[in-house]
Amino acid sequence: MGLSTHVLDTMNGCPAAGMAIALYSTDGDQATLIKRLVLNHDGRTDGPLFDNDSLRTGTYRLTFDVAAYFKARGVQLPEPNFLDRVSLDFGIAHADQHYHVPLLVSPWSYSTYRGS
């Protein structure tokens, strides 16, 4: 099961295909890049961010390049953008469980939750 994410573009009512994301491990104020990815046609990564064997307890950050995604779709954004990158800091307490971190996003707002 591991760790997964999914992004939905609530402005256009579709998956956020082509959005760039980055996954970091965190330790206090320190963040270490683990991987960078681009979301597929369904607004998901092609595989899990971590599979069952590589998921570890600890703290992590997912960063979503929201402004670049909306600009690429032709959305006129103010300068500076209201949202540039959205960073979600979260913890993995049970490495034997699946953690899904979805993002619902527009140029003006976002929400997340622990999905299944």
**Binding site for substrate: which residues?**
6, 44, 113
End-to-end CA distance of the chain: 10
Contact 18, 72 (CB under 8 A): yes
Return the SS3 of 98: coil
**Binding site: which residues?**
6, 44, 113
Task: Give the separation between CA 76 and CA 94, rounded to whole angstroms.
Answer: 42
Return the SS3 of 86: strand
